[in-house]
Structure formats: C-alpha cells, structure tokens
Amino acid sequence: MKNEIWSERVDLFEPNIYICFRVQITGRPEPDALLEAVKTAFTMNEAAMSRIVLEEDGTAYFEKLSESGCSVTVTKKDWLTLITENEKVPFRINIGELMRVFINLSGEEAELLIMAHHLVGDGKSVVYFLEDVMKALAGEKSEYKSLRLITKDSFPKCAKLPCFFKLYAESFNKKWRQSGRIFSWEDYAKVHEVYWKESSSKVIYETFLPEETENLKRYAKGVGVSLNSCLTTAFLKANQENGCIGMPVDARQDGNRAMSNQATGISVDYTYSEKLTFDENVKIVHRKVQRKLKNPVNRYFILQFMPLFEPALVDSVLMHTYNLFENGTTAKLASVLGYKGGKTRELGITNLTRLDIPDSYGQYGIKEVLFIPPVVSYAKHIIGVVTTADGMRISYHFMSDGNEAEEHAFFERAIKTLKDYSCSL
C-alpha cells in the first residue's frame, strides 16, 4: 500500500520547511559512537528510511528504502552557520534526504544540530528521533516506528467538514483541470533557487531559567490561563499590528511516537488592546484559543480542507507565490490560503511545552535544547518554544530581507514583557 502524501501536500514544494533542533549532549561521547547512534536512529524510523516519489499524474507518496538517504556529518562549524548554509541547498527528498544531522565536538560538550524536512516529521517527531539517538548512544534499544500519516480516517466523526467546503474546493478543482498542469522535481528545485537567491534566515533566542519559567507558570495559573496564552499575548503586545495568530496543535489521538507530520493547526484573530491590562488581554486570547481547540471542526479543519484540492493545484500555489507560474485559479487560491493578497498570518507560535523524553540516558544527557520552527510562506513572525529541566528557550526565526534591527527590537519587547512577569512573583 502506498503512503500517499495527503494533508501535508502543501509542504512538498515549500522552500523553507526545515525544522531545526540544537541540543548539547553531556557525558563526552566518542565521535564514532555518536555518529553510529544517529545512523541507528535513522533505521528505527520508517520515515527516515523513505523517499518521496512524485508520479506523472501529480500524486506523491513515501516509498520505503533499504538504506536511509538521510545524512550525518561531523563538523567544526557552529549551528548558525550550518543553518545558513544548508537552508539554501534543497533537500533531495526524491532520494530520501529528509534529514541532515550535524555533530560538533569542538566545545566542552558535544552539540547536535538536526535539520528535518517537515514531511519527515513535526516538532514532536524530531524530539522522539532525538530520544532514539540518545538511547542508541547509551546502548539502549528503541522500538521500530512505522510511518504514520494523517488519513481520512484520522479524525473523530464530529470533526467532519460541512459539505460547503467540498463544493467550494471542487469549484477550484474543476477550473484547474481545464487550465492547470503537473509539476516536477525541476520545479521544486526552481522554487528553492528563486526563494534563497538573495535571502537567508536569522535565528535569535532567549533563555528563561527554571525559576523564571516556574514564575511565569504561576502567573498564568493565577490569571486562569495557559502559559502558551501568556507567550502569545506578549508577542501580540510587542507588535500591535499583529492581528492573526497561527498555532500548530498535536493531532496524535493515540499518543503514538512515530516520525511523520502529525500536527494540525488553528488560527485566532486578535489585536492587542492598550486600553486593557495585560491580564485582560491574555484572558481574551486564552478564551479564543480554547474555543477553537474545543471545536473538533476547527481543530482539524486545515488537515481536512487542504486535501480537498487537486495535489498539483496545491503545488502551484508555491510556484505562483514566487512568480514562477501564472494561473487565475492558482492566484485566487494563493490569496485564500494567505500566501498572497494580504491574508498572511502575522504571528506563528509553536510551543512544544515540556519535552516528554528523559533528560538522562546512562552517563549521557541533553541540555540547552533549542527548537527552531520553519519560516513558512504563509506567516511572518515565527516563534518556537521548548522547555526542559534547565529552563525554557524561545526562538525567533525570520528572513533577513527586512529590517533586522526592527525584528530584534520586536523580539526584545516581547521578551522584556515576559521577563518582567517572570521576576515579579
């Protein structure tokens, strides 16, 4: 049976869809041992042992390989340099290069940088891959994890989309069949070339010590909201032109730890009001988020809506976004989805919360974990949050084609708000 790329088809041609994790490994592992541990982790995940096949009819699917196309390299380059260099080189997903892992042993602790194409997994998937690496390093065995893709049967019955959306999508599909075409790996390479020709991304981050993190949690609990709502509101306050927030949400209903993209997402419209206190703003944000999460149709909307469109039509949106393809149907859909036409989400925030993997593995451990979500084409400000035993780290991933000083100032304003609350209790 073919594992067809269904709900995540929009990621296929996305030129900046790489999830990054930087993590320090304590215990001074030997280079060869760490190298072999990463290679072993590849073999324990079917997703990392697969390639993407793009058929002549436009369908795409995972095909299992006998040997992984993912790579692991020992290097002396720092993680920021590695990201800048590697984001410009398209992953050869057609031969199975879905992950690039780099090992740097030049510092006091070993450092691991994981760059993963979103098709091989979401943020949680990469966390579970890291766990496999650490278990292999410590001589422990991991359970083999088969590929688990989102399908039509992945949702509760109460999440079924109203027929209107199917009719709406079919109106696009009908026009597309009359004027569209199928795209190829050459088109995939061209999108990447155009996107990265004169651009690169930047990453900045801030660390909240365990005590500061606990203070923020206590503040959130006292107000009756989640920590994530506090984080979101701080970034809305930092740029009050932001009026739409996108939030990935774990779609695993059975708690599986397989590598694949199993995230759904919601969006919430809200602009921070200076007429209200921070407490009042954060309560409104929290209510709006909870309302979306508790509604099954809203919670799983994007995963069911996108597959309603012809696969090649979805590919064409990225081609059109970067001026490589002109088509009236595509232009309209690109506007509807927020790739063009002013509907782009101003803020995207992904909070992995406290990692549900151990911090220690025999004589080895992990610390200073930094999660960097991809700068996708339909959002402007991309924030990543992860918490471990040594605190919470918040990253800001942005493109360098704007005003860098302004981007830094935006991030620093949000961090100052959070630091003020983390020190006030």
Residues 344, 222 share a domain: yes
- The sheet carrying 18-26 orders its strands as 71-75, 99-104, 110-117, 18-26, 364-372, 360-361
Q: Is residue 145 part of a domain?
A: no
Q: Is residue 403 part of a domain?
A: yes
Residues 174, 234 share a domain: yes
- The sheet carrying 244-250 orders its strands as 201-208, 391-399, 379-388, 345-354, 244-250, 263-269
Q: Is residue 83 part of a domain?
A: yes
Exposed, middle or buried by CB within 10 Å (0-12, 13-18, 19+), for 338?
middle
Q: Is residue 215 part of a domain?
A: yes
Residues 379, 233 share a domain: yes
Element (H, E) at 41: helix 31-43
**What domain range is 395 assigned to?**
158-355+375-423
CA distance 256 to 116: 19
Residues 53, 180 share a domain: no
Residues 91, 37 share a domain: yes
**Whose structure tokens read 């983390």?**
422
Residues 321, 392 share a domain: yes
Residue-wise DSSP of 119-148: TT--HHHHHHHHHHHHHHHTT-----B---
pLDDT of residue 422: 86
pLDDT of residue 279: 97
CA distance 300 to 7: 11
| Long-range pairs for 167-174: beta carbons < 8 A, 24 or more residues apart | 168/308, 169/305, 169/308, 169/309, 170/308, 172/309, 172/310, 172/313, 172/329, 172/332, 172/333, 173/308, 173/309, 173/310, 173/313
Q: Pairing relation of β-strands 99-104 and 71-75?
A: parallel
Give Cα separations from 378 to 259, 271, 339, 423 (angstroms): 24, 18, 5, 35
pLDDT of residue 341: 63
Q: How many distinct structural domains can be found in the chain? A: 2
pLDDT of residue 343: 52
Query: What CATH number should be reported for the domain holding residue 85?
Result: 3.30.559.10
Residues 248, 327 share a domain: yes
pLDDT of residue 131: 98
Residues 126, 169 share a domain: no
- The sheet carrying 60-64 orders its strands as 3-4, 60-64, 50-54
Q: Is residue 55 part of a domain?
A: yes
Query: What CATH number should be reported for the domain holding residue 283?
Result: 3.30.559.30
Q: Is residue 381 part of a domain?
A: yes
Residues 272, 387 share a domain: yes
pLDDT of residue 424: 62
pLDDT of residue 345: 61
The structure tokens listed for 184 are 């190829």
Last residue of a domain, one of 137, 167, 184: 137
Residues 163, 15 share a domain: no
Q: How many C-beta atoms lie closer than 10 Å to residue 343's C-beta?
A: 13
Residues 168, 87 share a domain: no
Q: Is residue 144 part of a domain?
A: no
Mean pLDDT by 10 residues, the chain (425 residues): 88 95 96 97 98 95 97 96 96 98 90 97 97 98 94 90 96 96 97 91 96 96 97 95 89 90 93 97 98 95 95 96 95 90 73 96 97 85 95 94 88 97 75
Q: Is residue 365 part of a domain?
A: no
Residues 128, 162 share a domain: no
pLDDT of residue 241: 85
